[in-house]
C-alpha cells in the first residue's frame, strides 16, 4: 500500500485522472469529459475505488478507459486501485467541464450545448426547425449544416461550415 493520507491519495488520483485522455477524443481527459464520478478510499482494504460512468452503455472504449485509468494510478504510485462502473444516473454531456468544452473546440469538435434539466424527452433526431445552430469550432460561424447524424463515433455528428467550408464533428448533447 502507498504511504500518505487518504485525502492525499484521493487528491493525487483526481490529478492523475486529469491526464488520462479519452481514447476516442484524445483532446479531453476522462475527468474533464465527466465520466469520473467519484474517487474514494475503501477503508476495509485500502484500495482506491474510481467510479466511472460511461458516456453510453455500449461505449466501445469503456474497457480501454478502465485499463488506462488503473495504469495511470499505478504509475503514479497511488495504488492499489479498482474501477467500478456506475450506469445510473446515466452520463449526460452536461457533465463535461468548461475546460473539456474548450479542449473539444480547440481540437476542432463543436462541444455540445445543454442537454436540459431532465424535463425534455430524449430524442434521437431533432425535430425540423427545433435544433439550435451549431457554431463552427474553427471560425465560430453559426452558418453550419449537418452532413451525417453520426461522425467517427456514435456520440458525434458530422457537420460542415458554410462560411469557412471546413468539415467538423459536433459532440452530441445527451
pLDDT, one tens digit per residue, over 71-100 is: 999 999 998 999 999 989 989 999 999 999
Q: Which residues of the chain have pLDDT under 70?
A: 1-4, 116-131
pLDDT at site 166: 94
pLDDT at site 128: 46
The burial class, CB within 10 Å (0-12 / 13-18 / 19+), for 50 is buried
Q: Where in the chain are the domains?
A: 6-85, 109-171
Distance CA 164, CA 107 (A): 16
pLDDT at site 161: 95
pLDDT at site 74: 96
pTM for the complete prediction?
Answer: 0.75
Strand 156-161 with 81-85, pairing = unpaired
Residues 146, 163: contact at Cβ < 8 Å?
no
Give the CATH number of domain 6-85; options: 3.30.300.130, 3.30.70.3000, 3.40.50.1980, 3.90.1150.10: 3.30.300.130
- Distance from chain centroid for Cα 19: 13
State pLDDT tens for residues 32-50. 999 999 999 987 888 999 9
Distance CA 67, CA 162 (A): 41
pLDDT at site 121: 46
If you search the block for the grid coordinates 479542449, which residue do you land on?
103
Distance CA 53, CA 85 (A): 6
Residue 55, number of CB atoms within 10 A of its CB:
27
* DSSP letters spanning 50-111: EEE--SSTT-TTHHHHHHHHHHHHHHTT--SEEEEE--SSPP-GGGS-HHHHHHHHHHTEEP
pLDDT at site 148: 92
Amino acid at each position: 500500500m502507498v504511504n500518505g493520507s487518504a485525502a492525499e491519495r484521493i487528491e493525487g488520483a483526481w490529478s492523475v485522472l486529469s491526464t488520462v485522455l479519452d481514447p476516442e477524443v484524445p483532446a479531453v481527459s476522462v475527468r474533464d469529459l465527466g465520466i469520473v464520478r467519484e474517487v474514494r478510499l475503501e477503508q476495509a482494504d485500502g484500495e482506491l475505488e474510481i467510479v466511472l460512468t460511461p458516456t453510453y452503455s455500449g461505449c466501445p472504449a469503456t474497457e480501454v478507459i478502465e485499463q488506462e485509468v488503473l495504469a495511470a494510478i499505478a504509475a503514479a504510485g497511488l495504488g492499489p486501485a479498482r474501477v467500478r462502473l456506475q450506469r445510473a444516473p446515466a452520463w449526460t454531456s452536461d457533465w463535461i467541464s468548461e475546460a473539456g468544452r474548450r479542449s473539444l473546440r480547440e481540437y476542432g469538435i463543436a462541444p455540445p450545448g445543454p442537454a436540459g434539466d431532465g424535463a425534455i424527452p430524449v430524442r434521437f433526431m431533432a425535430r425540423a426547425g427545433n435544433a439550435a445552430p451549431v457554431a463552427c469550432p474553427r471560425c465560430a460561424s453559426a452558418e453550419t449544416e449537418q452532413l451525417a447524424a453520426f461522425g467517427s463515433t456514435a456520440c458525434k455528428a458530422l457537420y460542415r461550415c458554410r462560411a469557412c467550408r471546413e468539415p467538423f464533428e459536433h459532440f452530441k448533447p445527451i
